[in-house]
Amino acid sequence: MRKLFWLVLAAPLLAAAPASAAAVVAKIDISEQKMRVFVNGFPRYTWDVSTARRGYVTPIGTYRPQRLEKMWHSRKYNMSPMPHSIFYHRGYAIHGTDAIKNLGNPASHGCVRLHPTNAERLFSLAKRYGMRNMRIEVVR
């Protein structure tokens, strides 16, 4: 009975969502070095990230995932491991890192680095909801 009550209460909110809205939105704020993840319009997670350090760039814009790789190794940067990679623009990706002490500070060559556990969570959401239902927003 309680579940039915909440479903009835939430129905108008769900109906009001535009059909083109993404089920999963990962919003990366470069100035804060934070990622906020929304699922079906509701805030789910806030995580520290590392984006581009001085001399490199993390592109600003709105993207859709292009490719998911459970484990990738960067050919450009000494075969560095990139677990749970979500590639979204010209080789840029959101992925896990073993340099967790740097999270919350610019430290990457341009990718968005996450704690490995958080990268796995985001990767699972991308797989569960599908790449077409995910949006990545990078803002300053």
* Band of residue 20 on the pLDDT scale cut at 50, 70, 90: low
Res 84 pLDDT > 70:
yes
Q: Please report the pLDDT score of residue 7 as a whole number.
A: 45
Domain range 21-139, its CATH number among 2.40.37.10, 2.40.440.10, 3.40.50.2000, 3.20.20.70: 2.40.440.10
Global pTM value: 0.85
* Band of residue 11 on the pLDDT scale cut at 50, 70, 90: very low
Q: Please report the pLDDT score of residue 50 as a whole number.
A: 98
Q: What's the chain's length in residues?
A: 140
Write the pLDDT tens digit of every residue in 71-83.
Answer: 999 988 888 999 9
Could you tell me if 80 and 108 are in contact, meaning their C-beta atoms sit under 8 angstroms apart? no
Q: Where is pLDDT greater, at 11 or 77?
A: 77
Where are the chain's structural domains?
Answer: 21-139
What is the per-residue DSSP string for 46-111?
EEE-B-B-TT-----EEE---EEEEEEEETTTTTEEEEEEEEEETTEEEEE-S-GGGTTS--BSSS
Q: Please report the pLDDT score of residue 1 as a whole number.
A: 52
Q: Where is pLDDT greater, at 28 or 15?
A: 28
pLDDT, average across residues 23-43: 98
| Mean of pLDDT over the chain | 90
What is the per-residue DSSP string for 114-130?
E-HHHHHHHHHHHHHH-
